[in-house]
Amino acid sequence: MSDSASMSKGKWVAMAVVWLFIFGIGTAAYKYWWAPAEVKQAEEQAEVEHQAILDATSSNTSYKHTVLFAADGFSGYSPWRSPEFKAEAGRYSIRLNVKDDGADYSARIKSIADGTTPMGVFTIDALYKVSSQLNDTPATIIMLGDETKGADAMVANGKKFPNIDSLNSPDLKIVCLSDSPSETLARVVMDAFNLDQLPANPFEFKDSPKAVYDAYKASKPTDNKVFVLWEPYVSLVLKNPDYRIVVDSSKFSGYIVDVLVVQRDFLIKNEDVVSNIVKAYLTTVFNSRNKMVDMVVADAKALGEPLTKEQAEKLVEGIWWKNTQENFAHFGMTAAPGIQPMEDICRNISNVLLKTGAMSKDPTNGRPSLMYYDGIMRKLFDSSWHPGFGKEMVREERTLAALSEDDRKRLKPVGTLQVPRLVFARGTARVSAGSLRTLDDLSEKLKTWPQYYLTVRGNTSSKGDVDANRSLAEQRAKSASDYLKSKGVHENRIHIETSDPNGSSTVAFILGEMPY
């Protein structure tokens, strides 16, 4: 074969290879690009046509806003999950989706901060703690939802732990759920009472209230443990006749409070929506005020954790759902006896968390008003909005009855308050200026423990003339008592006594209750 023929044949082969390559690319392009594109275009056209048919044969949505709302399974949140609340919100063209995050407060605050769930509920202490961890306050409080008034309790073997003072042991363990109202109750007790022998970290944390209850069932009577729980677990423990309530949330005020919070940016851009959600909730609480037990029972059943009617009644008895008038009072629009201003509630909770080591830094840097916004309540108040004119009452703490001398002798000591030593002018009952400030702080503290009597005990020095020392001890106790009364502590609550000579000339403050 000639060279020219060989070259010609080579060119044909090369051209064939090129055409085969081009054909392969074309085939692949058609298979993997053109044909799928045609299919996709056909599918999209079909979807457009289908959607057009749906639109032509359907009605427009009645909701103008959809809001994702963060909460958890606490029975006190049953109004937020109720059909009644969703219906009330619907009247304002708002669709609410309640997301249960399992009480993961860190995840909740992050979800609120990034706008995924722009609204949610928190206990104030949990809000403080997670805000401290973020070193920011992305959410602001706009309404009080409820306050526990007996639903949480510290329970223990009554023989081993007859009162709070008996907890003062270096090997005590407080068994509870972390980042919960139970932990807060324990920290409130640690802050208020003289428990200077407790270990640096007395907590034994569990991951659920049931796990705390199981720890109780596995414990021995000799164990140096107390258990902090909420209903219905408190009642379950109390079926054991050897166990009793050491202290519960009915004895203090303004510490375990659930609030509605909203992301600040969402509030600025959607204040009318937020305001209508608040109206819907307050209306739900008002309309359900006589059927909360049924609401709690239905809610528990829906969550797959059914409660008996008796358990629901006990739980409802221990929760104060805050109504409109009470919110107005807390936010400073009106004055009402026993209603703490939001600023005082936030400051008191922050102080407890700092003093007991629950958080290392106050996220507001000492400005508790940064934690809440009163604008929503202010607008409702200024517009005279209310769900039930003349039918809402501001609940007051029960006033303790005056005690007879026989009753005073029967008072059962609960615990000795943690109060810095009072300083008096030498040999007199005149309180120093610095100690007057201590008594000012004590009077504010006593307002948060309204359901205990107060014994002001003048301790008698054993040095020198015993009768003179006893007289001075009584005068000093009376001086402190009179000052507390002048600061608003009801006289029914206070009585004075003197000790036998015990080597001390201090004044002690002991909370007590009647033995029934």
Q: Give whole-number Cα distances, 433 to 55, 367, 430, 447, 457, in Å.
A: 77, 26, 9, 22, 20
Per-residue pLDDT at 81: 94
Three-state SS annotation for 98-110: EEECCCCHHHHHH
- Domain 405-513 adopts which CATH fold? 60s Ribosomal Protein L30; Chain: A; (3.30.1330)
372 phi/psi in degrees, rounded to 5? -140, 160
Matching residue, tokens 């219906």: 87
Provide CB contacts within 8 A for 118, sequence distance 6+. Answer: 67, 68, 112, 262, 263, 266, 270
Quickly list H helices, 303-374.
309-317, 324-330, 342-355
371: DSSP letter: G
Long-range contacts of 309-316 (CB under 8 A, 24+ apart): 311/231, 311/232, 311/235, 312/75, 314/231, 314/232, 314/235, 315/75, 315/76, 315/151, 315/231, 315/232, 316/292
Give me the torsion for CA of 20, 22, 27, 33, rounded to 10°. 160
Q: What radius of gyration do the chain's Cα atoms show? A: 33
pTM over 0.75: yes
| 90 vs 86: CA distance, rounded Å | 6
Equal CATH topology for 65-150+254-382 and 160-242:
yes
Q: What is the CATH number that goes with domain 65-150+254-382? A: 3.40.190.10
Residue 12 has a CB neighbour count (10 Å cut-off) of 10
Per-residue pLDDT at 464: 79
Per-residue pLDDT at 465: 81
Per-residue pLDDT at 317: 93
Sequence spans of domains, the chain: 10-58, 65-150+254-382, 160-242, 405-513
Per-residue pLDDT at 498: 87
Per-residue pLDDT at 5: 54
Q: What is the CATH number that goes with domain 160-242? A: 3.40.190
Q: Helix axis angle, 375-382 relative to 271-287, nearest 10°?
A: 70
One digit per residue, the tens of pLDDT, for the chain of length 516 reads 555 555 566 666 566 666 666 666 666 556 666 666 676 777 777 777 777 776 677 666 678 999 999 999 888 999 999 999 999 999 999 999 999 998 899 999 999 999 999 999 999 999 999 999 999 999 999 999 999 999 999 999 999 999 999 999 999 999 999 989 999 999 999 999 999 999 999 999 999 999 999 999 999 989 999 999 999 999 999 999 999 999 999 999 999 999 999 999 999 999 999 999 999 999 999 999 999 999 999 999 999 989 999 999 999 999 999 999 999 999 999 988 889 999 999 999 999 999 999 999 999 999 999 999 999 999 999 999 999 877 888 988 888 999 998 998 899 999 999 999 999 988 899 999 999 999 999 999 999 999 999 999 998 787 878 888 889 889 999 999 999 999 999 999 999 998 887 777 789 999 999 987
Per-residue pLDDT at 426: 87
Give me the torsion for CA of 78, 81, 83, 88, rounded to 10°. 100
Per-residue pLDDT at 32: 62
